[in-house]
Structure 1
Amino acid sequence: MNGAAFAVNLAATLGAALAVLLAAFAVGVRTGRHRGVDVAWGLAFTAVAWTGYGLSAGYGDDGRRLLATVLVTVWGLRLSAHIARRARGQDEDPRYARMLSRAPAGPARTRYALRMVYLLQAALVWFVSLPVQAAQYVPHPPGPLAWAGTGLWAVGLFFEAVGDQQLTRFKADPANRGRVMDRGLWRYTRHPNYFGDACVWWGLFLLAADTPIGWAFVLSPVLMTYLLAYGSGKPMLERQLGSSKPGWAEYTARTSGFLPLPPRTRPRPPTPGTSR
């Protein structure tokens, strides 16, 4: 890997992530709703991937460069399109409403949103995408580990896309209003989309992991998995669902929280003192 070229790439990809998130910030300020940052999330990863693709020409293997870029693009655009459809006509996301309520209304809240929502997410996009950027500078064609990563990416995309489609169809039926989704993939894991997201980013990490330098970026998928399973993903959503969905405690008692597993035939009782 050409260290000087990769250093330039790191600066340019950070700029690409910032550009997308700052554009989303401008839209959020104009509309008074910041849930659009979730749409920008996938777009920012896509912008980073294509920036790296352009800058890595002549340094990385063309097949590996294109493979990494296409995989990120397919994942990012699908996710952004899904979130945009889901958010159409909706009010502010309760997560962002609660977060921003910590700051006084007015300019102070706007600055708080910029720091804690948009700039933070731009930094996360850049850091999580480091294995993709590294893969684009690997000078030899994809090997078995990279192709295994592509397979893991495909598994992850399946769980994300199918899980999202199943949940959308479930919510569209008025008969399911107020009910817990426990069908399809949601029968085996309470969060097939989050599990799929983790698989996607571990798969993308493997595109760089067949080189020694690639392992320097293992903290990127570790961080993404932690956020999904223990940070701003699963815990925040489950707190909200635990207080609004009848039958949630019974569902959590029989259904795996993250990894897809067969439903428990003898449900484990919910932990005392939790909202589950």
Structure 2
Amino acid sequence: MANNFKNATIAILTPIPSIIFFLYFLKYFNTNNISPTWSWCYTRPFILANVLFFLNVNVMFWIIGLLQSSHWMIDVYWTVIPVLLVHFYSTHPLAQGKYNVWRSRIVVFLTWVWSIRLTHNYFRREDWQWGVREDWRFSDMRRQYGKSWWWISFFTVYVSQQVFLIGICLPLYVIHSADNPLNIWDFVAIVVCLTGITIAYYADTQLHDFVTANKHLKKLGQPMVQVLDSGIWRYSRHPNYFGEQLWWWGLAIFAWNVGLGWASVGALVNSLCLAYVTMLVEERMLKQEYRAEAYKLYQKSTSVWVPYFKFSSMQKEKKIA
């Protein structure tokens, strides 16, 4: 309990320096009294976001991770940083707003919905504890790099996350950089975003119920269910990843609609990264002896990401051929 309270306190206090700086910036910085030294804060909001991320996340989170021998906090903030960024971009003095105010409000609202869903899933998965464990990929790298991990972790856990998170959140920046009226494509983007959030929520809920049931069976000494093959998982091996991709591609549609489609590069990189993570997850499944054979059959009959009807092994072989 004491450790949980300590971690919660650390996590809540850590972003305060950036928040205080930005509130001070909003209150005292304007075009009349801004000094040349700090003018870039006003004229380059994207650079300012990266500087704050580097100092407050990369450096501070890294030091805390070294002191605790666990880089757990970046997982919690993965669900929060997009919310901080969308508020940063929407409240910055250079944010466009004549026609854009409703698009901004819609995207801010959607980002909060996405964040609440993902944050809820994180704490549900962790039994409502703060910092119980770090991401299994970081733990694997910790063992792999040994004594060098202390400095390698700065780049692999944090600098890489800056590139990834700032990049994937580019649509949150560009929709506040253009002043286009709402149109039908905004509503298409809304539908795609909400569909992604909904699919991810139900997929994660079904996965949580499956894992919880298996833990109970294990305690009772009974055989565990080998594969989750019901609900939306009947039609996709990774529906949670599919839903997450829909969310980011929905934001990319917002970016395309304001004429800044280059911002969708983040969604593309995310899809490529999820393809790699999918491969790692499936390798882990196949290494677990009690479910390896069942999972091989599951792979042969079920779509990887996009929910689709079951197909037989023979159909799969023909499709591959």
TM-score by length of 2: 0.74
CA distance in 1, matches of 2:246, 2:309: 19
Match of 2:136 in 1: 94
1:124 aligns with 2:164: yes
Which letter does structure 2 place at the counterpart of 1:193? N
* Cα deviation, residue 83, structure 1: 1.5
Report the alpha carbon displacement of residue 178 of structure 1 after superposing the two structures with TM: 5.3
Residues 224-270 of structure 1 deviation map (CA, whole Å, 9 limit, x = unaligned): 111112x2x2111111111113411011111101111111144646x
Q: Residue 155 of structure 1 contacts residue 196 of structure 1 at CA under 8 Å; is this kept in 2?
A: yes
C-alpha contact 1:21 1:40 (8 A) present in aligned 2 = no
Task: Give the equivalent residue in structure 2 for 1:239.
Answer: 283
Distance 2:134 2:81 in 1: 21
**More deviation, 60-69/180-189:** 60-69
* Cα distance change, pair 79–7 in 1 and its aligned pair in 2 (3 A): farther
**CA distance 1:77–1:7, change in 2 (3 Å):** farther
Give the secondary-structure state (helix, strand or coil) at the position aligned to 2:145. coil
Give the alignment partner of residue 110 of structure 2, picking from 22, 47, 71: 71
- The 8 Å contact of residues 85 and 172 in structure 2, kept in 1 or not, is answered as no
- 2:15 is the alignment partner of 1:15: no
Deviation of 1:78 after TM superposition, in Å, equals: 2.2
Cα displacement (A) at 1:218: 2.6
In structure 2, how many angstroms separate the alpha carbons of the residues matched to 1:146 and 1:237? 34
Gaps of 5+ in 1: 270-276
| Cα deviation digits, residues 156-199 of structure 1 (max 9, x gap) | 00111110001111111124735211111111111111101110
Show CA shifts across 1:186-217 (max 9, x none). Answer: 111111111011100110111121132x1122
- The question of 1:32 aligning with 2:92 is answered no
- Is 2:232 the counterpart of 1:185? yes
Which blocks of at least 5 consecutive residues in structure 2 are unaligned? Answer: 1-39, 218-222
Whole-Å separation in 2 of the counterparts to 1:218 and 1:134: 10
Work out which of the residue numbers 112, 115, 123 in structure 2 matches 1:84.
Answer: 123
Q: Which letter does structure 1 place at the counterpart of 2:44?
A: V
Deviations 1:100-137 (A, max 9, x none): 223232xx312111111111112110011111210122
Q: Give secondary structure in 1 for the equivalent of 2:257.
A: coil
Cα distance in 1 between the residues matched to 2:186 and 2:254: 4
Structure with greater Cα Rg: 2
